[in-house]
Amino acid sequence: MIEEYILNYILLYIILEIFEVSWQKAPSLMGMLLRMYKYYNKSIWLFLIMHPTFYFAIGFAMLSDYNGFALLLLFIKTLDVATKILLIQQVFVKRELSQELSLVLLAPINGFLPYLGVVLYPLLILLALS
């Protein structure tokens, strides 16, 4: 049986991930970037605050005594936020967009894709605490 504290961590993460998905969701990656740019343009700090799962991953890595799965979660979330910042910089600040990248960013995405983290990341939490 899964212990109550494990369920609490997983439930908290799912709630935070759904919050992130709710403000980022769009029909294409460019739409998602545009939504993120609105916060980034106001303040980089506001943009970073809008990613609570990143802070959850930092705290969870420390609380789990730097378990390998917790560190993997932290690595993926760090890579996620860094990639978003780099894409925002390239597309909206520097305005350097190759034809290939524009095709990828403008292509429609499956409605399930933004929710992938709600399914996959809790598994890492479960593995870290098991």
Quickly state the pLDDT bin for 2 (edges 50, 70, 90). low
- Reduce the DSSP state of residue 108 to 3 states and report it: strand
Q: Which domain holds residue 57?
A: 4-129
Quickly state the pLDDT bin for 1 (edges 50, 70, 90). low
- Number of structural domains (the chain) is 1
Residue 95 to residue 87: CA distance in whole angstroms: 10
pLDDT tens for each residue of 13-45: 999 999 999 999 999 999 999 999 999 999 999
Whole-angstrom CA distances from 38 to 21, 41, 65, 79, 122 are: 15, 5, 36, 20, 28
CA 13, 115, 18, 47 torsion: positive or negative? Answer: positive
pLDDT tens for each residue of 71-127: 999 999 999 999 999 999 999 999 988 889 889 999 999 888 889 999 999 999 999
> What pLDDT is stored for residue 6 in this prediction?
87
